[in-house]
Amino acid sequence: MNPALSYRQAFNTILKRDLKIALRHRDDIVNPLLFFIIVITLFAISVGAMPNVLMTIAPGVIWVAALLSTLLSLERLFKNDYQDGSLEQLLLSPCPVFILVLAKIVAHWLVTSLPLILLAPLLAMMMNLHPDGYLALFLTLLLGTPILSLLGAIGVALTVALKKGGVLLSLLILPLYIPVLILATAAVEAATMNSPYQGHLAIIAALFFASLITAPFAVGAALKVSTN
Amino acid sequence: MLNASNLTCIREERILFDALDLDFQPGDIWQIAGANGTGKTSLLRILAGLMEPENGEVCYQQTAIQKCAEEYHQDLLYLGHSPGVKSELTVLENLKFNLQLCSQDTEQCEKLLEQVDLFGFADTLAAHLSAGQHRRIALARLWLTQAKIWILDEPFTAIDKLGVKRLEQRILEHADQGGIVILTTHQDLSLPKSRYQTLTLERIFS
């Protein structure tokens, strides 16, 4: 009898596979990023030559664009695996489901959100963000986008068996995204006004850890219900 | 080793089967037969623990499978309707992943591919292969696995005659070594009649 796969091995195996698939299937990386760039660019163009207006709305616009681009890419998290039958194989593997789910979510975040975070400063410059806001923007995105992926995964897991789950998915998880959005934009705004934003950041971090701990279990349970 | 008691399955408000008692012993080969829509796949999914029965329970070594999921999954090999092959990965990568997930060593991959007539396709993307070849990738695991219980849903679909023969041979070998094979198929098995049992699911009209 082989020893059971250790948690770390299982995590790495899934992570590597998902990253490989994403890299071969470039759409997964390019589409959300392109959406992010287009939305922000259009805002910058349509508002026109009013640097002050841009400066005021910059944190909100950047965060809304990040949120929507995550939402767009979420469906792919489990859909393909569900359709080609590999989700069943994952659920039947000897290692606990939450490990596999966590690996898939991390892979998804690395592929969709990380490029977006790296590109954000450039777009922030286009939106004429106040120089003091850059660090806050970076930190809120770094802590906030994983929350979006984790919470979103619950919604995806619940709707994966539905033919047209897209609308339902947005309805399910947008309310859960609102607190993150409010806190993050408030933090960036506070930073641009040179007032402390550590409080906001702490709450976002708390949300991050809470969802990191609970979401994989919820996703595992939701997947079992969906494949039933 | 694996038994099910009082299984009832209801889909779309129709009773598919009712109060089904099954007992699988080492060395058994079970063919689940029945017309389309009589609940063959549902039965297999319930046995694998992917689906909850309306009533009754499935026990592995006298423990309900939900309670010993980790051990049960270690000893179980389930192949569903869809082969679970990723078209973005190559044949070899698919096979390796499947094996790694069940903590099998991956050194003999090439040899396994030979068994299922995929030798020379190792580095081809699965997207470029046919449905039968996809199924062969999934089936390759059978030649290495240490799982005792095989639950195979239509394993012969899209497989050519020679492939079917080899697969039947492998199934027989596994049963002879004390394994359990539960499979659905519409074709007749060419195994000796004394070697396998058939369970025919009838449509229940209510």
Chain Cα centroid distance, residue A57: 22
**Which percentage of chain A shows pLDDT scores above 70?**
98
Chain mean pLDDT for chain B:
86
Give me the pLDDT at residue B83, please.
85
- DSSP sequence for A7-21: HHHHHHHHHHHHHHH
Q: Which residue in A89, A93, A101, A225 has the most chain B C-beta atoms within 10 A of its own C-beta, making it the best mutation to test that interface?
A: A89
A95 located within any domain: yes
pLDDT value at position A21? 92
- Give the model confidence (pLDDT) of A162-172 as tens digits: 888 788 898 99
The span from the CA of B135 to the CA of B155, in Å, is 8
> Which of A29, A25, A156 lies closest to A101, judged by CA?
A156
Average pLDDT over every residue of A31-60: 91
Q: Is residue A151 part of a domain?
A: yes
User: How far apart are the C-alpha atoms of A62 and A125, rounded to whole Å?
Assistant: 11
Q: Residue B129: which residues within 8 A CB-CB, separation 6 or more? A: B91, B121, B137
Residue type at B81? H
The answer to whether B87 contacts chain A (CB < 8 Å) is: yes
Which residue out of B52, B86, B123, B149 would a mutagenesis test of the A interface target, given it has the greatest number of A Cβ atoms within 10 Å?
B86
Task: Average the pLDDT over B14-20 and give the result.
Answer: 85
Asked if A228 and B81 come within 8 Å (Cβ–Cβ), the reply is no
Distance from CA of B161 to the nearest CA of A (A): 25
pLDDT in tens, B117-143: 888 888 888 889 888 888 888 888 888
Q: Which residues pair with B34 in a beta bridge?
A: B201
Residues in chain B: 206
The percentage of residues in chain B with a pLDDT greater than 90, rounded to a whole number, is 8
Give the model's pLDDT for residue A175: 93
CB A115 within 8 A of CB A23: no
Task: Report residue B152 as tokens.
Answer: 């195979």
Bridge partners for A79 per DSSP: none
Whether B88 sits inside 8 A of A25 (CB atoms) is yes
The pair phi, psi for residue B78, each rounded to 5°, is: -115, 130
Secondary structure letter of residue A120 according to DSSP: H
Query: Which residue from B52, B84, B105 is facing A89, i.e. has the nearest CB?
Result: B84
Chain B hits for A227, CB-CB cut-off 8 Å, are 50-51
User: Among partner residues B86, B87, B100, which is closest to A13 by beta-carbon distance?
Assistant: B100
How many CB atoms neighbour CB A74 within 10 A?
25
What is the average per-residue pLDDT within A125-141? 93
Contact B104 A4 (CB under 8 A): no
Among the listed residues A138, A137, A134, A69, the one whose alpha carbon sits nearest the alpha carbon of residue A108? A69
Q: Is A195 left (phi over 0), alpha (psi -120 to 50) or beta?
A: beta
Minimal Cα distance from B50: which residue of A? A228
Q: Is residue A1 part of a domain?
A: no
> What is the pLDDT confidence band of residue A75, given thresholds at 50, 70 and 90?
confident
Phi, psi angle pair for B13, to nearest 5°: 65, 20
Cβ of residue A205 closer than 8 Å to a chain B Cβ: no
Percent of chain B that is helix, strand, coil (3-state, to 5): 35, 25, 40
Nearest CA in chain A to B75: A94
Give the residue among A75, A90, A66 at the shortest CA–CA distance from A15.
A90
Task: Note whether A192 and A59 are within 8 A (CB).
Answer: yes
Using 50, 70 and 90 to split pLDDT, how confident is the model at B206?
low
Distance in Å, alpha carbon of B142 to nearest chain A alpha carbon: 14
Task: Compute the average pLDDT of residues A33-48.
Answer: 92
Residue A5 has pLDDT above 70, yes or no: no
Query: pLDDT > 90: what percent of chain A?
Result: 70
pLDDT in tens, B138-160: 888 888 888 889 999 988 888 88
Task: Return the pLDDT at A1.
Answer: 40
B196: left (phi over 0), alpha (psi -120 to 50) or beta: beta
| A29 part of contact set with chain B, CB < 8 Å | no
Residue A196 covered by a domain: yes
Which residues, numbered 88 to 127 in chain A, qualify as contacts with chain B under a Cβ-Cβ cut-off of 8 Å?
A: 88-96
The residues near A40 (Cβ < 8 Å, ≥ 6 apart) are A61, A62, A65, A123, A126, A127
Cβ of residue A48 closer than 8 Å to a chain B Cβ = no
A8 touches chain B (CB under 8 A): no
C-beta atoms of A17 and B89 within 8 A: yes
* Total Cβ atoms within 10 A of residue A31: 15
Domain count of chain A?
1
Note the pLDDT tens digit of each residue in B59-78: 988 888 888 888 888 889 99
Closest residue on chain B to A3 (Cα)? B103
Identity of the residue in B49, B74, B84 whose CB atom sits nearest the CB atom of A86: B84
Averaged over B164-172, what is the pLDDT?
A: 90
B157 Cβ under 8 Å from any chain A Cβ:
no
Residue A2 within any structural domain of the chain: no
Output the six-digit token pair for A209: 């850890």
Indicate the residue of B89, B100, B105 with minimum beta-carbon distance to A21: B89
> Smallest CA–CA separation between A188 and chain B, in Å?
40
Query: Which residues form the domain of A220?
Result: 7-227
Question: Does A108 reside within a domain?
Answer: yes
Nearest to B70 among A2, A80, A94 (CB): A94
Q: How far apart are the C-alpha atoms of A226 and B78, rounded to whole Å?
A: 18
Q: Is 0.95 surpassed by the pTM of this model?
A: no
Asked if the model's pLDDT at residue A113 lies above 90, the reply is yes
| Residue A22: pLDDT over 60 | yes
Residues 6+ apart with CB under 8 A from A125: none
Best of B54, B66, B103 to mutate (most A CBs within 10 Å, chain A): B103
Per-residue pLDDT band for A121 (boundaries 50, 70, 90) equals very high
